[in-house]
A and B are shown apart, each in its own frame.
Chain A
Amino acid sequence: MQKKTFRRGIHPLHSAHEGKTSTRNLEIRDYVSDTVIISMAMNIGAPAKPVVKKGDQVLVGQVIGEAQGFMSVPVHASVSGEVLAVEQIPSLGAGPQMAVTIKNDFADNWVELHPLGSVEHVDPAKVIPAIQAAGITGMGGASFPTHVKLTFGNGKTCDTIIVNGAECETHLTADYRLMLENSTRIVDGLRAVMRALNVNNGVIAIEDNKMEAVAAMQKAVQGREGVRVQVMRTKYPQGGEKQLIEAITGRQVPSGGLPIDVHAVVLNVGTCAAIADAVIDGKPLISRITTVTGAVRKPANLRLRIGTITEDIIGECGGYAETPGKIFFGGAMTGMCLPNDQMPIFKSTNGIVVFNEKESKSKDESPCIHCGRCVAACPIGLNPYQIKVAADKSDFEAAKKLHVMDCILCGSCAYMCPSRRWLTPSFKFAKDHIAAEAKAKQAAAKGGEQK
Chain B
Amino acid sequence: MTILYAGLLLGALGIIFGGVLTFASKKFHVEVDERVGKVRECLGGANCGACGYPGCDGFAAAVVKGEAPINGCAPAGEKGVKAIAAIMGQEVATSEKMVARVLCQGENGIAKERYAYDGYQSCATAAGLAGGPKDCRFACLGLGDCMDKCAFGAISMKDGIAHVDPEKCTACGACVKACPRSVLKLLPLSSNVIVRCRNSDVARVARAVCMDACIGCGRCKKECQYEAITVEGGFARINPDKCTRCGACAAVCPCKCITID
For residues 298 through 351 of chain A, which have their beta carbon under 8 Å from a beta carbon of chain B?
337-340, 343
Chain B binding surface, main DSSP class: loop
A90 touches B131 (CB 8 A): yes
B119 and A96: CB pair below 8 A? no
Query: A156–B129 Cα gap in the complex (Å)?
Result: 36
> What CA separation (Å) do A343 and B114 show in the bound complex?
13
Output the nearest chain A residue to B122 by Cβ-Cβ distance.
A429
Known A-B contacts A96-B131, A339-B131; A432 and B120 likewise in contact (beta carbons under 8 Å): no
Interface status of B6 (Cβ within 8 A of chain A)? no
By the criterion CB–CB under 8 Å, are A394 and B148 in contact? yes
1/0 per residue B117-150: CB within 8 Å of A?
A: 0111010110111111000010000000000110
Interface string of A221-240 (1 = CB under 8 A from B): 00000000000000000000
Q: Which chain B positions have C-beta within 8 A of A432? A: 124-125, 128
Distance in angstroms between the alpha carbons of A228 and B148 in the assembled complex: 54
A94 and B131: CB pair below 8 A?
Answer: yes
Shortest distance in angstroms between B85's beta carbon and chain A's nearest beta carbon? 33
B115 interfacial contact with A, CB 8 Å: yes
| CB neighbors of B among A87-113 (8 A) | 90-96
Tell me if A426 is interfacial: C-beta within 8 Å of chain B. yes
Let me know if B125 and A91 touch, CB within 8 A. no
Identify which of residues 359-391 in chain A touch chain B, using a CB-to-CB cut-off of 8 Å: 361-362
Q: Is A433 on the interface with B (CB-CB < 8 A)? A: yes
- Give CA–CA (A92, B125) in the complex, Å: 12
A417 to chain B, nearest CB (A): 14
Q: How large is the interface on A (under 10, 10 to 19, 20 to 34, 35 or more residues)?
A: 20 to 34
The answer to whether B125 touches A94, judged by C-beta atoms less than 8 angstroms apart, is no
Beta-carbon nearest neighbor of A426 in chain B: B120
Q: Known interface pairs A339-B114, A394-B148. Does A93 touch B119 (Cβ–Cβ under 8 Å)?
A: no
Query: CA–CA, A2 to B128, complex, Å?
Result: 43
Task: State whether B124 touches A91 (Cβ < 8 A).
Answer: no
- Bound Cα distance A362, B119 (Å): 8
Q: For the complex, give the distance between the alpha carbons of A433 and B130 in Å.
A: 17
Q: How far is the CA of A337 from the CA of B132 in the complex (A)?
A: 12
CA distance A337 to B122 in the complex (A): 16
CB-based nearest B residue for A436: B124
> Residues 404-445 of chain A: 1 if any B CB is under 8 Å from the residue's CB, otherwise 0?
000000000000000000100110110011000000000000
- Whose C-beta in chain A lies nearest to the C-beta of B149? A394
Which residue on B lies nearest to A94, using beta carbons? B128
Residues of A within 8 A of B132 (CB): 94
Per-residue CB proximity of A250-289 to B under 8 Å, as 1/0? Answer: 0000000000000000000000000000000000000000
Known: A94-B132, A340-B115. 14 other contacts (CB 8 A): A90-B131, A91-B130, A92-B130, A93-B128, A337-B130, A339-B129, A339-B131, A343-B130, A422-B120, A425-B119, A429-B120, A429-B125, A432-B124, A433-B124
Residues of B within 8 A of A (CB): 114-115, 118-120, 122, 124-125, 127-132, 137, 148-149
21 sample A-B contacts, Cβ–Cβ < 8 Å, listed by A number: A91-B130, A91-B131, A92-B129, A92-B130, A93-B128, A93-B129, A93-B131, A94-B127, A96-B137, A337-B129, A338-B130, A340-B115, A361-B118, A362-B118, A362-B119, A422-B120, A426-B120, A429-B120, A429-B122, A429-B125, A432-B128
